[in-house]
Amino acid sequence: MHTTTLAMNTSLLMIFALLIFPLLTSLSPTPLHKTWAVTHVKTAVKMAFLVSLLPLFIFLNEGAETIISTWHWMNTLVFDINLSFKFDHYSIIFTPIALYVTWSILEFAFWYMHADPNINRFFKYLLLFLIAMITLVTANNMFQLFIGWEGVGIMSFLLIGWWYGRADANTAALQAVIYNRVGDIGLILSMAWFMMNTNSWEIHQMFINSQNLDLTLPLMGLILAATGKSAQFGLHPWLPSAMEGPTPVSALLHSSTMVVAGIFLLIRLHPLMENNQMALTTCLCLGALTTLFTATCALTQNDIKKIVAFSTSSQLGLMMVTIGLNQPQLAFLHICTHAFFKAMLFLCSGSIIHSLNNEQDIRKMGGMHNLAPLTSSCLTIGSLALTGTPFLAGFFSKDAIIEAMNTSHLNAWALVLTLLATSFTAVYSLRVVFFVSMGFPRFNTSSPINENNPLIINPLKRLAWGSIIAGLLITLNLLPSKTPIMTMPPLLKLSALLVSILGLLLALELASLTSKTFKALPNLPLHSFSNMLGFYPSIIHRLTPKLNLILGQKIATQMVDQTWFEKIGPKGVSSINLPMIITTNDVQKGMIKTYLTLFFLTLIMALFISII
Amino acid sequence: MTPVHFSFTAAFTLGLMGLAFHRTHLLSALICLEGMMLSLFIALSLWTLQLEATAFSTAPMLLLAFSACEASAGLALLVATARTHGTDRLQNLNLLQC
């Protein structure tokens, strides 16, 4: 067999084998030893990362992509489902990144969850999640993708509700499941449509068979699925609520890997969307709305993890906008670079939270730059990468997206919203850095702030290196499939940078106002709107269940029970008959002997009359 | 009417009078009911014999079977009454009277 093929296929299947092996060891009846999490899980992920570099380098060298179809799983007469892995440029680049980020997060999680008695179970859940995510990313058919999709959804539920004694955590986990399920309706609709109209769930066959069909319905289904999984506007409240889970969970699931699954689905199935203007416009407008709305909500939040969660949601909106621009590769580039700096932001927040004795309110932090210099430096690097500072990781993806937006024929409203959201990104990033790192400490001095543990330092350093050079590396090595427009007026070229600097200056001005009071009782309607997340959760989480419960009450209790059973059916019959029975009963006095005597006498009289 | 007809008619009427005018015991009403059944049995048998209608020859047996059921039902009621009220005297059976 050819060396390249052998090397690629072997290493790619080795990744799965390495990741599944710790799960199998955990199935044995003997309890796991205390450092199983480190010796087995983290080592497995590290090994898998190193193994996944081999296909990456082969791809970079030769451009080799591979599809492995191993097993004919099940079939009907006209439809069959296989176990099929697709390692094209998307999966080959994403898998090492996901494994690298996961490796760092697992190392951090061993420090963060050290006092947890169920740490082995935690790591098992994270590993299961990772396997589901890799399955999703490498799926060549919709069935396998759906398995990965549901797998990440369920693991998200289990991990968000890790501290299930807390009512808020249970509510948040339930929210995640319900919102994801609404999105799954769209995915199942699309899968059913494809099964019926293109006779296959294999992605290549779907592309070929659907060339002349009107794809609006399945594409709307796929967009609904992405809305649910990637927290676009309308199905977004679960993502900030998901911050109830431990910080490693937020870093892994809700920043780098799970939430990009919806966008990844759209990227994979992009050839279906290229020619459908309605789907593209929907993506564009939905993404623009999402990115601005969530950036607005992030401006006034006080919980550091919620700010980063909204920032994730905003970047996901940006990715959706990119897909709406017909640029899936840029969206994928943004997914890859975003994974690094977002995971790092979460790890920095986790480090700060733990150092300050579980304080998550940024109004009670401050001065961390002197107390935890490495952490706050990484926070700054992450924030700069997020805002698209030139030549850090985020710049290559974000600037390219904004340039593509400026030079495309698109909806002007979407463009304005996206630029506004870009400036808001700078604002809330500066707000985080200002409240956390700068100024003087606003917390009690009793918590020992010590970041000298290599379990924290090494992940942060690795992710910081990634946030700095990953954008450059990926851009240098990926050939763009669509030609970017190279010439544009200088204002357009610099627009992303200008709005970010504008936002930064505005935020600095606002930050300097924190030490002065202009009004004793300020009028804050806009602040309330932003702080209460646009009142969206307050309205929807109360109105929808109330309407459903009223509907249930009307149908189940009132219509079926009361009306059908009691008024019309059996009880109605008895309630109509009962007064008549009582009346009849009152008439009779039970004097049987008198009645029988009367009967006899009447009989005699009748006989006599008939004789006479 | 012929003496035979008169005998079972009289037996039936006397049983009916006994049922209508029973005074003290529930058991006497049941016995009168049995008497009425017996007279009806004789009447059915005579019908077959005198009118030469062989199609009705099984009717008396049927009547006997059903009267046995009825008598056992009546006796069960008597026993239940005796259990709840202690006696079958009709003065005690006035719960439903208002």
Tokens standing for residue B65: 């079977």
Q: Chains A and B: how many Cβ contacts under 8 Å?
A: 24
CB atoms inside a 10 Å sphere around CB A277: 10
Residues A179 and A280 in one domain: yes
**Phi/psi of residue A457, each to 5°?**
-65, -45
Q: Which chain B residue has the Cα nearest residue A599?
A: B20
The 10s digit of each residue's pLDDT in A402-431 is 999 999 888 889 999 999 999 999 999 999
Q: Which chain A residue has the Cα nearest residue B23?
A: A593
In a domain, A523, yes or no: no
pLDDT at residue B98 above 60?
no
Q: Which of residues 589-608 of A touch B (CB under 8 A)?
A: 589-591, 593, 596-597, 599-600, 603
Spatial CB neighbours of A273, under 8 Å, sequence gap ≥ 6? A215, A219, A222, A266, A279, A280, A283, A323, A326
| Residue finishing a domain among A500, A515, A530 | A515
**Which DSSP state fits A567?**
I
Chain Cα centroid distance, residue A341:
17
Let me know if A276 is exposed, middle or buried by CB neighbors in 10 A (0-12, 13-18, 19+).
middle
Residues A488 and A593 in one domain: no
With the C-alpha atoms ordered A51, A459, A504, A292, is the resulting torsion angle positive or negative?
positive
| Residue finishing a domain among A515, A533, A554 | A515
Of B20, B23, B90, the CB nearest to A600: B20
Task: Please tell me the predicted confidence (pLDDT) of residue B96.
Answer: 62
Are A345 and A383 spatial neighbours (Cβ–Cβ below 8 Å)? Answer: yes
What is the C-alpha separation between A405 and A89, in angstroms, rounded?
24
For chain B, state the CA radius of gyration. Answer: 17
Residues of A in contact with B90 (CB under 8 A): 593
Bridge-based pairing state of the strands A80-87 and A66-75 = antiparallel
pLDDT at residue A518 above 80?
no
Residues A310 and A423 in one domain: yes
Residues A257 and A393 in one domain: yes
What is the C-alpha separation between A350 and A344, in angstroms, rounded?
10
Distance from CA of B20 to the nearest CA of A (A): 5
The 10s digit of each residue's pLDDT in A433-483 is 999 999 889 988 888 888 899 999 999 999 999 999 999 999 998 888 888
Distance from CA of A589 to the nearest CA of B (A): 5
In a domain, A465, yes or no: yes
pLDDT at residue A539 above 70?
yes
Question: Within chain B, how many helices (H) and strands (E) appear?
Answer: 3, 0
Q: Region A286-294: what's the mean pLDDT? A: 95
Task: Please tell me the predicted confidence (pLDDT) of residue A314.
Answer: 95
**Phi/psi of residue A350, each to 5°?**
-65, -40
CATH of domain B3-92: 1.10.287.3510
Residues of B in contact with A597 (CB under 8 A): 20-21
In a domain, A535, yes or no: no
Cross-strand pairs, A42? none
For residue B88, the one-letter residue type is D
Annotate A401-420 with b (16+ C-beta within 10 A) or e (fewer).
bbbbbbbeebbeebbebbbb
Tokens standing for residue A484: 């970017």
Q: Return the residue in A596, A601, A605 with the most chain B beta carbons within 10 A, the one to mutate for interface testing.
A: A596
In a domain, A384, yes or no: yes
pLDDT at residue A254 above 90?
no
The 10s digit of each residue's pLDDT in A299-330 is 999 999 999 999 999 999 999 999 999 999 99
Of A589, A591, A596, the CB nearest to B19: A596
Are A186 and A225 spatial neighbours (Cβ–Cβ below 8 Å)? Answer: yes
In a domain, A529, yes or no: no
Q: How confident is the model at residue A560 (pLDDT cuts 50, 70, 90)?
A: confident
Residues A499 and A557 in one domain: no
**Phi/psi of residue A448, each to 5°?**
-80, 120
Q: How confident is the model at residue A6 (pLDDT cuts 50, 70, 90)?
A: confident
Task: Please tell me the predicted confidence (pLDDT) of residue A70.
Answer: 78
Kindly determine whether residue B98 and residue A589, on different chains, have CB atoms separated by under 8 Å: yes
Distance from CA of A604 to the nearest CA of B (A): 10
Q: How many domains does chain A have?
A: 2
Look at residues A257, A239, A251, A410 and name the one whose alpha carbon lies nearest to residue A344.
Answer: A251
The 10s digit of each residue's pLDDT in B1-47 is 688 899 999 999 999 999 888 888 889 999 999 999 999 999 999 99
Please give the span between the terminal C-alpha atoms of chain B, in angstroms, as a whole number: 45
Residues A550 and A416 in one domain: no
Question: In Å, what is the CA distance from A532 to each residue of A305, A392, A529?
Answer: 16, 33, 5
Where along chain B do its domains lie? 3-92
In a domain, A521, yes or no: no
Of A586, A589, A603, the CB nearest to B97: A589
| Residue finishing a domain among A496, A515, A534 | A515
What is the C-alpha separation between A124 and A23, in angstroms, rounded?
7
Q: Which of left, alpha, beta for A367 (phi over 0: left; psi -120 to 50: alpha)? A: left
The 10s digit of each residue's pLDDT in A202-240 is 898 899 998 888 999 999 999 999 999 999 999 999 999
Residues of B in contact with A586 (CB under 8 A): 98
Look at residues A272, A273, A345 and name the one whose alpha carbon lies nearest to residue A314.
Answer: A345
Kindly determine whether residue B20 and residue A593, on different chains, have CB atoms separated by under 8 Å: yes
Q: Half-sphere exposure of A27 toward its Cβ, with a 13 Å CA cutoff?
A: 5
Q: Which chain B residue has the Cα nearest residue A590?
A: B97
For residue A93, the one-letter residue type is I
Task: Please tell me the predicted confidence (pLDDT) of residue A483.
Answer: 86
Let me know if A486 is exposed, middle or buried by CB neighbors in 10 A (0-12, 13-18, 19+).
exposed
Residues in B lying within 8 Å of A, measured between beta carbons = 16-17, 19-23, 90, 94, 96-98
Residues of B in contact with A591 (CB under 8 A): 97
Specify the higher pLDDT residue, A46 or A588: A46
Of A586, A590, A599, the CB nearest to B20: A599
Are A42 and A127 spatial neighbours (Cβ–Cβ below 8 Å)? Answer: no
Residues A511 and A589 in one domain: no
Residues A576 and A494 in one domain: no
What is the C-alpha separation between A173 and A171, in angstroms, rounded?
5
In a domain, A110, yes or no: yes
Spatial CB neighbours of A211, under 8 Å, sequence gap ≥ 6? none
Q: How confident is the model at residue A334 (pLDDT cuts 50, 70, 90)?
A: very high
Helices within A113-234 (DSSP H only): 119-137, 142-160, 167-198, 203-209, 216-229
Look at residues A272, A255, A267, A252 and name the one whose alpha carbon lies nearest to residue A319.
Answer: A267
Q: Could you list the residue range(s) of the whole structural domain that residue A440 is in?
A: 1-515
Are A257 and A101 spatial neighbours (Cβ–Cβ below 8 Å)? Answer: yes
What is the C-alpha separation between A315 and A319, in angstroms, rounded?
6
Tokens standing for residue A22: 């710790």
Residues of A in contact with B96 (CB under 8 A): 590
pTM: 0.80
In a domain, A578, yes or no: yes
What is the C-alpha separation between A248 and A112, in angstroms, rounded?
8
Residues of B in contact with A603 (CB under 8 A): 16
Residues of A in contact with B23 (CB under 8 A): 593
Q: Which chain A residue has the Cα nearest residue B19?
A: A596
**Phi/psi of residue A72, each to 5°?**
-80, 105
Task: Please tell me the predicted confidence (pLDDT) of residue A382.
Answer: 95
What is the C-alpha separation between A327 and A283, in angstroms, rounded?
12
Residues of B in contact with A599 (CB under 8 A): 20
